[in-house]
Structure 1
Amino acid sequence: MKAKTKWTKLLLAVLLVVVLAVCATACSKTFTVTFDSNGGSAVGSVEVKSNGTVEEPNAPTRTGYTFEKWVKPDGTEFVFGTDTVTGNITLTATWRVNSYTVTFNTNGGSQVASQSVNHNGTASLPSQPTKAEQVFVGWYEDSDFSTPFDFSKKIVQDTTVYARFVDRIEEIFTVKFVGSSTPVASRTTNEGGVLTDLPAATSADGKEFLGWWMSDFEDESKLTARYTGQVLTQNITLFAVFESDAPAVSVNENGAVWDSMGVNMSYRVTITKPDNTTETPFTTGALQYDYDFASKPAGEYKIEVTCNNKTTTVYYNNKALARVSLFEVNGFELQFNGVANAQKYLITVECGNTSSGHVAGHNRFDNGTSTVFDFSMCEMREEGITFKVEAVADGYITSYSETFVFERRLDAVTGLTVNEADETLSWNDVANAEYYEYKINDGDWTRFNRTVSLKEMGQGDIVVSVRAVAHGYNSSEPAVFTYSKTRLATPVEITVDGDVLSWNTVADAVSYTVNIDGTEYLVETGNSMKL
């Protein structure tokens, strides 16, 4: 009995040692908790003893997203400080995409609802707002309307977009595009004088398109400024500009601005004035140079901006009057658009009236401030009448219009026909015709005098041409009619000499019948008879 008890105690002691050893081993084991930030900033893994809990790490960050929680492999949330670790485990971060508000500031126009846009999403182009007596010309990034808003741009923060309105104007101007390897058709401005929805340009060598540039001189070698929706007051040409290793520069009445060439770059600005003297060069790290052109003399200024020894030159025609661009003719009146600040208009005309007095009087004719010019003394030419208009004012640079060519032609004569009974020619009237001219076969043109008779013509095909004529018009294109005559010609040149009646000989005639006071006489030989 005592021996049995002894062995039992010994066995229990051995089991206790084993249990304690296993427990000690288990209690000393550690596991790795790995954090998968799922696109966010890195979070270091931690080692945790078996059945231990984990302290929550600092939340990761991710651009455009808000951190929500850490989840276990089964997708349930891991509760820090409560859930125990019993093995290696990877916790994965979950995120909520940020949403931003795009607000549309309509500047007094009709309201446009804001939009909620997820990070890296794009805003939708809303319906155009309206505003009394003004024209909506587009949405802009800034309240100064310097940069049009690009609706393909990714939204990464709360954004305000600004509606731009301009006063309504009567003139519609034409814009041509030059410099794209793929031709771009001309476009016209809207009712506010602004060109919207600018087309893109392409470069044959694949360079990036930077924008369309205006030139105060309508000269590709003398660019002035990038077109960003400025109100136009004349027809213009826009020139495509592509990336280069020199700054892209624009100049206006307030000075020059340019695109950045990189971080911590410096730019040297040199301005050459109309008298060919140069302002003291200025070096700046900014992307603009203020220069008050309003206080400077009128004329051509050259602005050079240099960065990394690469220079861009632009030109500004200070205080230049806009060019007369729009022409219309009403009767014998030339009408053209007025130019702001012009004190008078000088008009040069070239027409079909070549008299010395007329030519001299229409060379830079002083039309005063009137935008209507009477050219009733001008004759039309086949190539048309040409007009050039100079806008002139003290203290401003004179502007010169493009040549306006006016040509009008009367409509062609229609309805040419011959009355078989009396062989007279007739036709329909032509609007604005003052008279008509005709010719028979290859004869000379003859002014129409009430009746055109073909009686005197011999048998055969007779080709008759008729054209309409009027002052201030080119004559109509000749209308041609062929008449196949079967009758003999009617005798003409009838004369009486004493008691002898005679007339011209008619081709193919074998006899003549002469009617005198109702009595007919047959003449079978010759072309005369004795009375």
Structure 2
Amino acid sequence: MMKLVWKRIRKYALAAVVALGAGCGLFLIGTGDAFADEVIWEPVGGAGFSAGEAYDPSLFVYNGTPYVAYVEGNVNTVTVKKYNGSSWETVGSPIMPASWATAGYTSVYVYNGTPYVAYRDGFNSSKVTVQLFNGSSWVPVGSAGFSANYSEFISLYVDNGTPYVSYKDYGNASKASVMKYNGSSWETVGSAGFSAGEVYGTSLKVDNGTPYVSYQDVANSSKATVMKYNGSSWETVGSAGFTPGRADFTPLYIDEGIPYVAYTDFSNGRKATVQKYNGSGWETVGSAGFSANSADYPSLFVDNGTPYIAFRDGANSLKATVMKYNGSGWETVGAPGFSAGATELVSLDVYDGIPYVLYKDAANGSKVTLMKLKFTVSYDGNGSTGGAVPTDGSGYDKNANATVLGNSGNLAKTGYTFAGWNTAADGNGTSYAPGDSVNVGATGVRLYAKWTVNNYAVTYDSNGATSGAAPAGGSYPYNSVITLPGAGSMVRTGYTFAGWNTAANGSGTNYAAGSTYTIGAAPATLYAKWTINQYTVTFNTDGGSPVSNQTINYGAAVAQPANPTKTGHTFAGWYTDAGLTTAYNFSTPIGAANFTLYAKWDVNSYTITYNGNGNESGSVPSNGSHSYNSSVTVPGNSGALAKTGYSFAGWNTSADGSGTNYAESASFTMGAANVTLYAKWTINSYTVTYDGNGATSGSAPSGGSHEYNTVVAVSGNAGGLAKTGYTFAGWNTEANGSGTVYDASDTFPIGAADVTLYAQWTINSYELTYDGNGETSGSAPSRGEYEFGSSVTVPGNAGDLAKTGHTFAGWNTAANGGGTDYAAGSTYTVGASDATLYAKWTVNQYTVSFDSGGGTPVSNQPIDYGSTATEPAAPTKTGYTFAGWYTDADLTAAYDFASPIGAADLTLYAK
């Protein structure tokens, strides 16, 4: 049988690789446990069998004998052990490279009973060494340390006696190399360092002389690559880096020429994925990422077409889990996470259909533990209703015999007797008695409790019959169904047969004659059930409220019902006759016949009361008493009832007028209750009128009619009422403003009279201002504010206003003097706007005299201030020529007649 075990890497060598993949999830895909409840995982030769902490454990099962190789961490030796059936024994002596050297990357293989082990040889520069056990000692195969340089990830395979090894070759740029032993020396298969770049985790398989190697391919984004040697060179199987993403731990197996690769799938949350090569490409076996959580250290074995994978299970506290592909999905083999604690460096082998799993066991001092799948005998109560099934805690090898246990847990099943065990729940399998031997086969055994049904008696009891006999009983199997008989000849006076009951007092389960009865797990007595005869008592209420008939057991008393009611009447008891002569006694037992009881009634009288309903004066009519259903005449307002703002409008049965109206002298039929008739009042309406009250323009708002006591919103000055010299100030109930003041939108309730609202006017005040009107000195009188129409005494020139060339002449309403003049002390009447009185100025005149200096005289000119003098005709003087007018006698300053005259007389001198 061809097989391959991918050898594990040392923890410290791949710490970085593991760390990069930590923390991803895992999901189990499949149908459940491969072997249901009939398998368990058991340690082979005890858990933690190495001397101390172990590194790089490797597993090979040869003809049912497990071999393991590992590095003893406390002494750095390579140790190979095998299980001899009862204990672990060391194969030869531990291989001791040197006290100072460190071994690693062990890979064990057994060929024709000869164990081989490959390892990194610290004594030989950490190169590869392969040794075989010759029956007495370990001897090197060829030269020790035969690789070119430092090595890692060593995988050993022996093909027809020829050892092959693959490894990471530090002598060739950390690429993959494969060497084989040719009988005298180690030779390179193809080229050394044949991979595209650096590799991690080489796994070697030789199929009919053709070596295959899988590895994590750094040159292809750390995806998985598989290569094979075609006789002359290494070629890629399918595509290089064929996995969808990074692939860690890439164990290889070849089954019937088909390569399989498992790996930790970083594109699927570091879960487990298995792919196989179909001749043209790599396809996924089942679903990608089929584990429940992260799957580290995967180890692969394909057993006759069935892939198995073991791994450290992130979904189960890093314990070991084994899964297999069942053709449609991945399922766990036994319980998931079956190891005692966390694991590292998991290695899987399958022999004769039985998986073995080797791992570094954190629960046992990080020593190595080998687990083997074993088979169990389990017991099923098969419908038991009490007790417990026995437990066989042992695991058995394939096809081993086990001793069948007895009913130690006192299993019980209602209505049955325990009769041993059977391999089928329906009892159609093989039966076993306690102490028999049973073969566990290749799947384990489940034994079902076997039960024999019991028989139980059924007896019939006449239960008080006054004549006749009960039917005969019988014995029947538990849970069988019988048909129950009728009364036969049984009779009970005053009763009717009504079937059977499981209790004499009828408190059990009822069964009708002819019905079916299921036999229970104990003898049973069925008692005749008798129904007492009943009679009907009918109640005639003579038009009153109905009273339900009573069905009364023979000899019992009638229950006195609640008194019926009848409109306008009082109930006066029950009588046995329609003529109401004999009262009925409810304590009398009923006779053997139906009968009727008759109600007796007395007619009622009721009072009519009159209510003024808010009247403020007058009196209501007198009350009266009247028999139910008699006719009553309604009086009028005989007591002169009155209510402010309302008019009397008759009577009503409700205070709010929502009842029935009755006018004076109307009649009504007296009902079955006292009646109060309330005065009905019709509310009056009153008019609201608005008065402009002296307005000089605009219009008052329209008034309106409003019901008494309703709230009216006061209108604003919507019609633009105006009064000269006044401002509109709302409304008042009096023209002189002495009443109630209302602003626009104020509200008031309508009283019991019409209302007039008068516009209210506030007299305006206006400002009177005095303006100096061009004065050149002095000040105008202070301004003042005065009510419209008031008289103001006009002041004089108290502020000594002055204007060059002018004389103050009083005041005028226009600056240009075109308005109304007001002398000092006169009266000014304030108008309906602000006003300004302007100082009135009279321009002064000055005399221009002409001194002709002995010439002909020139007439003087009176000139208004600021005007220009008229140049006169030139004077004459004998012997002289006139040379112009001058302002000074010295004739130095010629006069310009275009210049305005100043505020003084002027003399001009002829030159």
Q: Which has the higher helix share?
A: 1
TM-score, normalised to structure 2's length? 0.18
Which of the pair has more CA radius of gyration? 2
